[in-house]
Structure 1
Amino acid sequence: MIRRIPKDAMLVAGVIAITLGGTVLISSESPPGPLPLWLGFVLLAVTSLPLLVRQTRPVATVVAVVTGALLYQALDFPGGASTIPPAIALFTALTVGYRVLAVSATLVWVAGTLALGWVGTRPPGVQGTIWFVTSLVAIIILGEMSRHRREQLIAERERVTQAERAREEEAKRRVTEERLRIARELHDLLAHSISVINLQAGVSEHLIDRDPEQARRALGDIRRVSKEVLVELRGALGVLRDAGEGEEPLAPTPGMDRLPELVRRAKTGGIEVVLDLPEDSQELPKSVDLAVYRIVQEALTNIIKHARAARAEVSIRREAGDLLIEVRDDGVGWEEGTSGEGNGLVGMRERAMSLNGSFAAGLAPEGGFRVEARLPVRGLAA
Structure 2
Amino acid sequence: MTTLVRGRGWARTHPLAVDAVLASAVLVCMVVGSFAEPNGEHGPTWGTRTPDAPSLVLMTLGALALVFRRRAPWSVLAATCAASIVELLTGQPRAPVVMCAVIALFTVAARTDRSTTWRIGLVTMTGLTGVAMLSGGPLPWYAQENLGIFAWTGMAAAAGDAVRSRRAFVDAIRERAERAERTREEEARRRVAEERLRIARDLHDVVAHHIALVNVQAGVAAHVMDKRPDQAKEALSHVRDASRSALNELRATVGLLRQTGDPEAPTEPAPGLHRLDELVDTFRNAGLPVEVALGQVGLDLAAAVDLAAFRIIQEALTNVQKHAGPAAKAEVSVVRVGPNVEVTVIDDGPGDDKGDEQRDVEQHTGGGHGLIGMRERVTALGGSCSAGPRYGGGFRVHAILPVTTAKGGTA
| TM value normalised by structure 1 | 0.87
**Structure 1 residue 130 and structure 2 residue 156: aligned?**
no
* Aligned-partner residue type, residue 11 of structure 1: L
When residues 335 and 74 of structure 1 are mapped into structure 2, their CA distance, relative to the original with a 3 A threshold, is farther
**Structure 1 residue 103 and structure 2 residue 119: aligned?**
yes
Aligned to 2:106: 91
Offset at 1:253? 1.0
CA contact 2:102–2:156 (8 Å) conserved in 1: yes
CA distance in 2 between partners of 1:5 and 1:244 (Å): 57
Offset at 1:181? 1.1
Report the more deviating stretch, 108-117 or 57-66.
108-117
**Structure 1 residue 312 and structure 2 residue 368: aligned?**
no
Return 5+ residue gaps in structure 2 as ranges: 1-11, 38-45
When residues 98 and 13 of structure 1 are mapped into structure 2, their CA distance, relative to the original with a 3 A threshold, is farther
* Aligned-partner residue type, residue 409 of structure 2: L
Offset at 1:249? 3.8
Q: How does 1:179-198 map to 2 (within 5 A)?
A: 179-198=196-215
Aligned to 1:14: 25
SS of residue matched to 2:214? helix
* Aligned-partner residue type, residue 26 of structure 2: V
Offset at 1:68? 2.8
Q: CA RMSD in A?
A: 3.0
Report the more deviating stretch, 264-273 or 201-210.
201-210
When residues 141 and 76 of structure 1 are mapped into structure 2, their CA distance, relative to the original with a 3 A threshold, is same
CA contact 1:40–1:77 (8 Å) conserved in 2: no
Offset at 1:377? 1.9
Offset at 1:48? 1.4
Give me the identity figure in percent: 38
SS of residue matched to 1:284? coil
SS of residue matched to 1:327? strand
After superposition, what is the alpha-carbon deviation per residue over 1:285-327, rounded to whole angstroms, capped at 9, x for unaligned?
2212111111111111111122226100011111213211111
* Aligned-partner residue type, residue 110 of structure 2: T
Aligned to 1:140: 157
Q: Of the candidates 180, 189, 192, which is equivalent to residue 163 of structure 1?
A: 180
CA contact 1:90–1:102 (8 Å) conserved in 2: no
When residues 88 and 119 of structure 1 are mapped into structure 2, their CA distance, relative to the original with a 3 A threshold, is closer
Offset at 1:116? 7.0
When residues 122 and 298 of structure 1 are mapped into structure 2, their CA distance, relative to the original with a 3 A threshold, is farther
CA contact 1:118–1:124 (8 Å) conserved in 2: no
CA distance in 2 between partners of 1:5 and 1:249 (Å): 67
Q: How does 1:114-263 map to 2 (within 5 A)?
A: 114-115=130-131, 118=134, 125-127=141-143, 128-241=145-258, 249-263=266-280
CA contact 1:239–1:253 (8 Å) conserved in 2: no
* Aligned-partner residue type, residue 154 of structure 2: V
CA distance in 1 between partners of 2:335 and 2:275 (Å): 16
CA distance in 2 between partners of 1:50 and 1:113 (Å): 21
CA contact 1:70–1:112 (8 Å) conserved in 2: yes
Offset at 1:216? 3.1
Report the more deviating stretch, 176-185 or 202-211.
202-211
Q: Of the candidates 275, 283, 287, which is equivalent to residue 266 of structure 1?
A: 283
Aligned to 2:61: 46
CA distance in 1 between partners of 2:263 and 2:236 (Å): 40
When residues 181 and 50 of structure 1 are mapped into structure 2, their CA distance, relative to the original with a 3 A threshold, is farther
**Structure 1 residue 375 and structure 2 residue 401: aligned?**
yes
Aligned to 2:35: 24
Report the more deviating stretch, 306-315 or 295-304.
306-315
Aligned to 1:328: 346
Offset at 1:152? 1.6
Equivalenced residues, count: 378
CA distance in 2 between partners of 1:21 and 1:55 (Å): 26
SS of residue matched to 1:335? helix
Report the more deviating stretch, 176-185 or 58-67.
58-67
After superposition, what is the alpha-carbon deviation per residue over 1:83-111, rounded to whole angstroms, capped at 9, x for unaligned?
21111110121112155377337625743
**Structure 1 residue 338 and structure 2 residue 358: aligned?**
no
Offset at 1:374? 1.6
CA distance in 2 between partners of 1:114 and 1:194 (Å): 96
SS of residue matched to 1:265? helix
CA distance in 1 between partners of 2:122 and 2:109 (Å): 11
Return 5+ residue gaps in structure 1 as ranges: none
Offset at 1:155? 1.5
When residues 370 and 78 of structure 1 are mapped into structure 2, their CA distance, relative to the original with a 3 A threshold, is farther
SS of residue matched to 2:146? helix
Aligned to 2:83: 68
When residues 227 and 190 of structure 1 are mapped into structure 2, their CA distance, relative to the original with a 3 A threshold, is same
SS of residue matched to 2:330? strand
